[in-house]
């Protein structure tokens, strides 16, 4: 038995430690996920004017601040009793700014955080031995996905085009967000009752040109067939089977046109997503007759008897139906679909009352399952209570353990796509399940994210060019007295998954409790009081430490299995750990102001 620890895991946000035990066959037999970043957000809201929430709590993170501001403002609309009267134009504006943030985040994760994994040196060595495809494929992968800092045998590798273009696209989308939000990150536009932004006709023109720049990126980098054709045949397919068939037939054509010539360039029909879809899966690659494939469908898998569900609260207001929204239930279809989906992929209704957080294995006073309205954030008080070495029976992380009806849940694009019944995601997940793979794995997580990117891009165009009205109404008046002795729920979806803020106020309308349960706290959760591991932990246990193992032997010093799996969840520890300790400023464990 060997202990393999990755600490810190790079190319994520914040500081995550993944600690594993690996047997002599390279199988991970135990795993702990630890959030190492101790900071402060929930407690700074206590006794404040609740309206501060929409400005302050988005400082939790620079990746998903927009989602945090949106969850807060949903909670405030509920607290002030105005949720059902928010004008449609304000809801459209909020949808646009969240859509831009989600697209930025996904482009960053796909190209900048995850794809450099595909040019891990282990794969160069493997591909070098694969006749007909290996070396040519390796060259093509480098030309697209190698990051700026990539060095191999002391030689600097030229940055990949996809990597560079994603960074340029991030700038494009953040400029668009700043147009609405005044600045980015930490936009200033969303307030209880609506938004402060009133779009002009010129602004709509500018937003449209940012949109065209985005679609240029999507259509020239991501897909050779163009987003519209792809979506017509996948997202709008009449069944999951038809969506999968389209993708397989399209990929087969591309494969047939390029294998003999060993040419995997865009000219031969390989967009970045197509390349990943064909070569990223052992199952799909073998079906297509590819001699070289990656095995990302074998990383990040749940065991057959996994105790994990998929959770989404729904996101984006249903602007077709006019003003207002229900804070606990956005709608019943599309992006607005809230759902709990069990490990057999059966969709159930959602009720926020089933959400609890436990701290049996986290560095807080032990709670064994409080609903966020009653949630407490009380860190342990002495440094000797904080150790990351104790193993799964001890406390080992700053992340709490959220549960839905007692069940750990994976959140993120894969859960949203499942809930909306997106045909390609549903079809692929069932295909893997029926072939003895886990439905959720590194491959399906990445495909679901790119599928959401395409669907959301299209939706964004409608919000910008059809729904946004320069003569609209953008807020309803609120008064602090309306928040007297009240409570509010803000449910939303951040790019990384289900995000909830819960707020309570007293007789002076000031905040008496504020709790946030964020996506990475779900995904990178520790054990709960029953010893059940979190989703990332369960996805690691039972898989191989070395995804490149087939030809290279077991390599504990390049634990590709851990890297792919952990990064496929797109973790953000800045969001996941958000504690403050104002009372022990002189103590060793660290304090924050």
Q: Mark the segment that binds Mg ion (CB under 5 A) among 290-298, 389-397, 502-510, 515-523.
A: 515-523
Q: Which residues contact 485 (CB under 8 A, 6 or more apart)?
A: 505, 506, 507
Q: Mark the segment that binds ligand NFE (CB under 6 A) among 172-180, 271-279, 366-374, 494-502.
A: 494-502
Q: Tell me which of 572, 578, 580, 581 binds ligand NFE, using CB under 6 A.
A: 572
User: Which regions of 386-542 does DSSP assign to beta strands (E)?
Assistant: 401-404, 409-410, 487-494, 497-505, 511-517
Residue 44, interface with Mg ion (CB under 5 A)?
A: no
CA distance readout (Å), 335 to 115, 421, 459: 26, 10, 10
CA distance readout (Å), 228 to 162, 236, 444, 523: 20, 10, 21, 32
Q: How many residues bind Mg ion (CB under 5 A)?
A: 1
Q: Tell me which of 576, 577, 579, 581 binds ligand NFE, using CB under 6 A.
A: 576
Residue 499, interface with ligand NFE (CB under 6 A)?
A: yes
Q: Tell me which of 61, 231, 290, 548 binds ligand NFE, using CB under 6 A.
A: 61
Q: Tell me which of 299, 520, 538, 546 binds ligand NFE, using CB under 6 A.
A: 520
Residue 173, interface with ligand NFE (CB under 6 A)?
A: no
* Chain centre to alpha carbon of residue 443: 14
Residue 67 interaction partner, one of ligand NFE, Mg ion, none, beta carbon < 5-8 Å per kind: ligand NFE
Residue 64 interaction partner, one of Mg ion, ligand NFE, none, beta carbon < 5-8 Å per kind: ligand NFE
Residue 18, interface with ligand NFE (CB under 6 A)?
A: no
Residue 100, interface with ligand NFE (CB under 6 A)?
A: no
What secondary structure letter does DSSP report for 464? I
Q: Tell me which of 160, 162, 324, 495 binds ligand NFE, using CB under 6 A.
A: 495
Give the separation between CA 348 and CA 366, rounded to whole angstroms.
Answer: 30
**Pick 44 or 166: Cβ nearer Mg ion:** 44
Residue 60 tokens, joined: 């939790």
Residue 66 interaction partner, one of Mg ion, ligand NFE, none, beta carbon < 5-8 Å per kind: none
**Pick 227 or 355: Cβ nearer Mg ion:** 355
Give the x-and-dash track for 297-336 against ligand NFE (CB under 6 A). Answer: ----------------------------------------
> What does 248-301 look like in DSSP terms, one character per residue?
HHHHHHHHHHHTTTT--SGGGT--HHHHHHHHS-HHHHHHHT-S----GGGSSP
CB of 519 to Mg ion, least distance (A): 11
496 and 520 Cβ atoms separated by less than 8 Å: yes
Look at strands 409-410 and 309-312 and give their pairing: parallel
| Dihedral-angle region of residue 287 (phi above 0 means left; psi in -120 to 50 means alpha; beta otherwise) | alpha
Q: Which residues pair with 18 in a beta bridge?
A: 6, 33
CB of 534 to ligand NFE, least distance (A): 13
Residue 461 phi, psi (nearest 5): -60, -40
For residues 81-96, b (16+ Cβ closer than 10 Å) or e, as one string?
Answer: ebbeebbbbbbbbbbb
CB of 98 to Mg ion, least distance (A): 21
Q: Mark the segment that binds ligand NFE (CB under 6 A) among 218-226, 316-324, 542-550, 570-578.
A: 570-578
Q: Mark the segment that binds ligand NFE (CB under 6 A) among 189-197, 327-335, 368-376, 492-500.
A: 492-500
Residue 516, interface with Mg ion (CB under 5 A)?
A: yes
Q: At what angle do helices 161-181 and 201-217 cross, to 10 degrees?
A: 160
Looking at residues 63 to 82 of the shown chain, list those that interact with ligand NFE (rule: CB under 6 A): 63-64, 67-68
**Pick 87 or 526: Cβ nearer ligand NFE:** 526
Q: Which residues contact Mg ion by CB under 5 A?
A: 516
**Residues interacting with ligand NFE, by CB under 6 A?**
13, 61, 63-64, 67-68, 494-496, 499, 518-520, 572, 574-576
């Amino acid at each position: 038995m060997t202990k393999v620890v990755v600490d810190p895991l790079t190319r994520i946000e914040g500081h995550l430690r993944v600690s594993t035990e690996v047997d002599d066959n390279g199988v991970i037999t135990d795993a702990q996920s630890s959030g190492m970043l101790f900071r402060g957000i929930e407690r700074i809201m206590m006794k404040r004017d609740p309206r501060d929430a929409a400005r302050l709590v988005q400082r939790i993170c620079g990746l998903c601040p927009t989602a945090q501001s949106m969850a807060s403002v949903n909670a405030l609309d509920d607290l002030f009793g105005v949720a059902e009267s928010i004008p449609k134009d304000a809801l459209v504006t909020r949808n646009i700014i969240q859509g831009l943030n989600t697209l930025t985040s996904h482009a960053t994760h796909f190209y900048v955080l995850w794809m450099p994994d595909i040019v891990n040196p282990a794969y160069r060595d493997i591909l070098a031995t694969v006749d007909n495809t290996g070396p040519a494929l390796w060259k093509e992968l480098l030309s697209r996905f190698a990051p700026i800092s990539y060095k191999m045998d002391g030689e600097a590798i030229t940055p990949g085009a996809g990597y560079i273009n994603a960074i340029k696209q991030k700038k494009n989308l953040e400029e668009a967000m700043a147009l609405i939000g005044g600045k980015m990150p930490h936009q200033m536009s969303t307030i209880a009752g609506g938004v402060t932004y009133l779009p002009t006709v010129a602004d709509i023109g500018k937003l449209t040109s940012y949109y065209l720049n985005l679609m240029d990126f999507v259509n020239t980098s991501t897909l050779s067939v163009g987003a519209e054709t792809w979506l017509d045949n996948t997202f709008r397919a009449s069944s999951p089977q038809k969506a999968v068939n389209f993708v397989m037939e399209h990929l087969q054509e591309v494969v047939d046109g390029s294998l003999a010539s060993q040419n995997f360039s865009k000219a031969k029909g390989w967009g970045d997503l197509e390349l990943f879809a064909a070569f990223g899966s052992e199952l799909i690659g073998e079906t297509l007759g590819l001699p070289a494939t990656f095995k990302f469908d074998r990383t990040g898998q749940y065991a057959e008897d996994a105790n994990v569900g998929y959770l989404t609260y729904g996101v984006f207001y249903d602007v077709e139906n006019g003003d207002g929204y229900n804070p606990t239930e956005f709608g019943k279809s599309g992006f607005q679909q809230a759902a709990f989906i069990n490990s057999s992929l059966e969709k159930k209704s959602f009720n926020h009352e089933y959400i609890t957080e436990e701290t049996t294995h986290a560095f807080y006073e032990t709670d064994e399952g409080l609903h966020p309205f009653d949630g407490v954030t009380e860190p342990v008080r002495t440094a000797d209570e904080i150790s990351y070495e104790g193993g799964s029976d001890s406390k080992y992380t700053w992340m709490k353990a959220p549960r839905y009806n007692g069940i750990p849940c994976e959140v993120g694009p894969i859960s949203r796509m499942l809930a909306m019944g997106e045909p390609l995601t549903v079809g692929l997940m069932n295909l893997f399940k029926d072939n003895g793979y886990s439905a959720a794995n590194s491959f399906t997580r990445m495909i679901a994210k790119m599928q959401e990117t395409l669907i959301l891009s299209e939706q964004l165009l409608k919000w910008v060019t059809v729904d946004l009205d320069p003569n609209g109404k953008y807020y309803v008046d609120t008064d602090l007295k309306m928040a007297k002795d009240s409570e509010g729920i803000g449910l939303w979806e951040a790019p990384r998954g289900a995000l909830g803020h819960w707020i309570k106020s007293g007789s002076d309308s000031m905040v008496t409790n504020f709790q946030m349960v964020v996506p990475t706290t779900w995904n990178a959760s520790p054990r709960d009081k029953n010893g059940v591991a979190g989703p990332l932990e369960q996805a690691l246990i039972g898989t191989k430490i070395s995804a490149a193992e087939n030809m290279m032997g077991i390599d504990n010093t390049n634990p590709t299995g851990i890297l792919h799996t952990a990064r496929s969840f797109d973790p953000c520890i800045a969001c996941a750990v958000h504690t403050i300790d104002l009372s022990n400023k002189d103590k060793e464990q660290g304090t924050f102001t």
